[in-house]
Amino acid sequence: MASSTALISDTEAWKDLKGHVEDIKKIHLRDLMTDANRCQSMMMEFDGLLLDYSRQRATLETVDKLLNLAKAAQLTEKISRMFNGEHINSTENRSVLHVALRAPKDAVIKADGKNVVPEVWNVLDKIKEFSEKIRSGSWVGTTGKPLKDVIAIGIGGSFLGPLFVHTALQTDPEALESAKGRQLRFLANIDPVDVARNINGLNPETTLVVVVSKTFTTAETMLNARTLREWITAALGASAVAKHMVAVSTNLALVEKFGIDPNNAFAFWDWVGGRYSVCSAVGVLPLSLQYGFSVVEKFLKGASSIDQHFQSTPIEKNIPVLLGLLSVWNVSFLGYPARAILPYSQALEKFAPHIQQVSMESNGKGVSIDGLPLPFETGEIDFGEPGTNGQHSFYQLIHQGRVIPCDFIGIVKSQQPVYLKGEVVSNHDELMSNFFAQPDALAYGKTPEQLQKENVSENLIPHKTFSGNRPSLSLLLPELTAYNVGQLLAIYEHRVAVQGFVWGINSFDQWGVELGKVLATHVRKQLHSSRTQGTTLEGFNYSTTTLLKRYLETSSEPQM
Ligand code: F6P
């Protein structure tokens, strides 16, 4: 077993897997797929979901060795420590309890000795009451009009998760029905173009602005919040803030200082990491305003179902654990640096961008949780697009260029089925034909011999050959209701945590985003003094000085 300060790469289990890579290199996926027993063992079902990881470059022996690695990393203990509210985010001295955000009312989950579930439900009940008031029109704007449009301001974790869930629910029949006549928009980028796009076509009289920021200090969010406060007060007067602006934050003192009534603030807690916060008021408030609390509650229940599975299922049958271990295998042993997230569902178009933050901000680390430099890489480059759009964009590289392990996510029942009379299949079947075909194309490829048999001309054979042996996994969801969206979210959140637990890193801090923010502060000060006092540029290198000079000399920014 690895002691808390040892690196996982020093364990026998890690070394055993390193040696095992050579065995795997000798076997083509084409051959692995002929073993029906192996494939059957690589299917996992839970709560309506079916995971098939038979197209991973792994044998049953590989899986056993990965399970040994999990034991060496004390994975089960680490999962328990997370659920028990221990301060596993050691560099920030915090618990990691996003699971408490979706726990049933009678659950007991403690942080620092105190059950946090009642506090969670106090906020959920407050959101339910407030969103019903807004949706029913019993809370109106200053001119007496109902607030039918919502702009949620936030960035990073205070934006990507809610945007993903909103996009996923937009075409779900139940959610669609309950959102009739309402709009939800997200303002994230500090680029004033994003402000212009968000307010385009909206009237301050009928708009509610939700400022979402864990810290309430994030430069982008606060400037956007001031900009929309100006938009509201210019049209409706200073007192309109009380009716047209609310906030979600852990920093209620700064919310009040900003001018938002603390009664109109929705709290969350430092044990919720920003990128793990979609199940807090960060997501629940804007989504409840749009879809009603009862729809959003189903989303929370779906996530909670996976939490219980993750917490209590033995590791060999535990979906997030298996997914996490396979990712570690792909990154650290097979040396694949990226992962493609490919939902065959337009409703999941914002899933990859959300998982990008969850995964890359969590696991893109250079040192162990104890601060030791890592002799191996952690994290992967996550990217993705919905199928079939991706097929017509970057799949060429995935099929014949670099090897990128792919997650294929498919839905059995479409949210919006269409069948045209006379067509061979329904539109959804057409989509899903691709979902079923692509993993085999990647795994099997096409040999020169096959091409010769098809009378392909000699000069084209090298171009039309597919090496195959490219790993993927398939996750099939029964449908895409709010409940299933919650399941999907929690599977990926926990998978990322598993990877971090095995690598022995802190997946819950994000020090790597700080340096850029500090340097931007120097530039901001310089821009201000250059524009207002004509101060010459100072303290920047040749490159930045040249760029800044060009920017200042040629920019047409309004004068201060
Ligand atoms: O980009 C860094 C980060 O701290 C993220 O982790 C976080 O989700 C985002 O900024 C927004 O932070 P806040 O919710 O405090 O505005």
The per-residue pLDDT for range 209-224, each reduced to its tens digit, is 999 999 999 999 999 9
Atom of ligand 1 nearest to the CA of 220: 16
Residue 380 and residue 202: Cα distance in Å, rounded? 40
User: Mean of the pLDDT values across residues 525-544?
Assistant: 95
- Residue type at position 539: G
In a domain, 37, yes or no: yes
The reply to whether 361 belongs to the active site is yes
The pocket around ligand 1, CB under 6 angstroms, is made up of 155-158, 213-215, 218, 221, 274-275, 361, 510, 513
What is the residue with the minimal CA distance to atom 3 of ligand 1? 156
Here the tokens at position 173 are 């029949």
Which residues have a Cβ under 8 Å from the Cβ of 377 and sit 6 or more positions away? 331, 332, 337
CA of 510 to the centre of ligand 1 (A): 9
User: Mean of the pLDDT values across residues 395-401?
Assistant: 98
Report pLDDT for 3: 47
- Bridge-based pairing state of the strands 110-111 and 114-115: antiparallel
CA of 220 to the centre of ligand 1 (A): 10
First-to-final CA distance of the chain? 63
User: In terms of Cα–Cα distance, which of 479, 215, 258 is closest to 347?
Assistant: 479
In a domain, 253, yes or no: yes
Q: How confident is the model at residue 1 (pLDDT cuts 50, 70, 90)?
A: very low
Of 243, 269, 298, the last residue of a domain is: 298
Q: 393: domain range?
A: 8-73+313-416+427-444+470-505
CA of 31 to the centre of ligand 1 (A): 46
Report pLDDT for 406: 98
Q: Examine the pLDDT at 380 and tell me if it is beyond 90.
A: yes
- Name the catalytic one among 25, 133, 392, 525: 392
Report pLDDT for 556: 72
243 and 337 share a domain?
no
375 and 500 share a domain?
yes
CA of 248 to the centre of ligand 1 (A): 13
What is the residue with the minimal CA distance to atom 6 of ligand 1? 274
> How confident is the model over 464-514, as pLDDT tens digits?
999 999 999 999 999 999 999 999 999 999 999 999 999 999 999 999 999
CA of 259 to the centre of ligand 1 (A): 21
Mutate to test the pocket of ligand 1, among 186, 190, 214, 362 (most ligand atoms within 8 A of CB): 214
- Contact between 537 and 530 under an 8 Å Cβ cutoff? The reply is yes
Of 263, 298, 333, the last residue of a domain is: 298
- Which domain CATH number covers 482? 3.40.50.10490
501 and 519 share a domain?
no
25 and 113 share a domain?
no
Mutate to test the pocket of ligand 1, among 155, 163, 248 (most ligand atoms within 8 A of CB): 155
In a domain, 92, yes or no: no
CA of 274 to the centre of ligand 1 (A): 6
Q: How confident is the model at residue 560 (pLDDT cuts 50, 70, 90)?
A: low
158 and 294 share a domain?
yes
- The reply to whether omega before 227 is within 30° of 0 (cis) is no
> How confident is the model over 36-71, as pLDDT tens digits?
999 999 999 999 999 999 999 999 999 999 999 999
476 and 535 share a domain?
no
In a domain, 329, yes or no: yes
The reply to whether 257 belongs to the active site is no
> How confident is the model over 339-352, as pLDDT tens digits?
999 999 999 999 99
224 and 110 share a domain?
yes
What is the residue with the minimal CA distance to atom 5 of ligand 1? 156
269 and 134 share a domain?
yes
In a domain, 421, yes or no: no
Atom of ligand 1 nearest to the CA of 274: 8
Mutate to test the pocket of ligand 1, among 187, 190, 218 (most ligand atoms within 8 A of CB): 218
> How confident is the model over 151-160, as pLDDT tens digits?
999 999 999 9
Domain count, the chain: 3
- Contact between 491 and 306 under an 8 Å Cβ cutoff? The reply is yes
Mutate to test the pocket of ligand 1, among 98, 250, 360, 510 (most ligand atoms within 8 A of CB): 510
Atom of ligand 1 nearest to the CA of 282: 14
Q: Examine the pLDDT at 2 and tell me if it is beyond 80.
A: no
The reply to whether 349 belongs to the active site is no
240 and 363 share a domain?
no
112 and 224 share a domain?
yes
47 and 112 share a domain?
no
Report pLDDT for 55: 98
CA of 308 to the centre of ligand 1 (A): 27
Return mean pLDDT, the chain. 97
Q: Alpha helix (H) ranges present in 292-426?
A: 293-312, 319-328, 351-363, 395-400
Which residues have a Cβ under 8 Å from the Cβ of 220 and sit 6 or more positions away? 155, 188, 189, 190
- Name the catalytic one among 114, 145, 517, 522: 517
User: In terms of Cα–Cα distance, which of 189, 179, 194 is closest to 149?
Assistant: 179
46 and 165 share a domain?
no
- Name the catalytic one among 361, 380, 385, 493: 361
Report pLDDT for 5: 58
Q: Which residue do the tokens 């000060």 mark?
A: 525
In a domain, 2, yes or no: no
User: Mean of the pLDDT values across residues 94-104?
Assistant: 98
pTM confidence score = 0.97
Here the tokens at position 40 are 């059957």
